[in-house]
Structure 1
């Protein structure tokens, strides 16, 4: 099974994404989705990470819930910045010190940060020990770093088994 579908969850995600993007469950689209979902992981087998599998599904759900709440709040904050043109914007760049070491976890952390309106993960240091963040509007960079560590990095470390 692992030779036929080396990354079954990726295959499933690709197939579902294909159908969702085409907004169709026509049999031809389902067949194409299955073909793409099966072939892409096989063709990219050498390039895909062989990281350990994430664990703790309830923690993953909690992380996703925190992320969804943070996205809604950040959207409202960015909308307020756009609407109130008299309010000064205090953009900052800050280096976020990383404790997370798992490559997939680091990618997910950067993705979660970048998908939240008003924040962007722009670069890893060469030693992978810190992540550069651009924050659109920030009074207290230390508070933002602490929030990201508590709401995103710590759960990712637990999901990937780096801490209890």
Structure 2
């Protein structure tokens, strides 16, 4: 089963996506969607990484809830910052955050978290994975250390416990 269907969820997603993109459920589209859903995961299997270790699922759930809350509050903060930009323009700046994470899955998760939280952009990862360069929408010089401490405590620490 794994040889012919190495990623069943990916196959299901590809099949549904095929039908949605073609906006048709004709017999031909169903067959083409099934072929794509079966062939693409088999061809791409050598490129996929093995699943990462997942420890502390309760901590993972709490991290997801924290990120959801941060997405909403950061979006509101960026929105208010844009509305008040005429009176006080945002002070965007680059911040280097030292990292303890080395696991590829944990780093990918951290990159996704950084991307979805409004006001932060993952700009560069050091070649030795020891630091990440982030762009922050609005940050005073005085608050850089507190931002780094918050970022590490809120996102990196839970990911360390979950993946490493």
- The answer to whether TM tops 0.5 is yes
1:1-164 paired onto structure 2 within 5 Å: 1-11=1-11, 14-15=13-14, 18=17, 36-84=36-84, 85-139=86-140, 140-160=143-163, 162=164
CA separation of 1:44 and 1:155: change in aligned 2, threshold 3 A: same
CA separation of 1:134 and 1:45: change in aligned 2, threshold 3 A: same
TM-score (structure 1 length as normaliser): 0.80
CA distance in 1, matches of 2:53, 2:32: 27
1:58 Cα offset (Å): 2.1
CA separation of 1:90 and 1:34: change in aligned 2, threshold 3 A: farther
Q: Deviations over 1:87-113 (max 9, x none)?
A: 131111111111111112111101110
Equivalent residue of 1:101, what SS? coil
Structure showing greater Rg? 2
Structure 1 unmatched runs, 5+: none
TM-score (structure 2 length as normaliser): 0.80
Note the aligned Cα RMSD (angstroms).
2.8
Which has the larger helix fraction? 2
Equivalent residue of 1:45, what SS? helix
CA distance in 2, matches of 1:32, 1:121: 38
Q: Deviations over 1:9-34 (max 9, x none)?
A: 5445x359738x66x8x687887766
1:7 Cα offset (Å): 3.3
CA separation of 1:63 and 1:37: change in aligned 2, threshold 3 A: farther
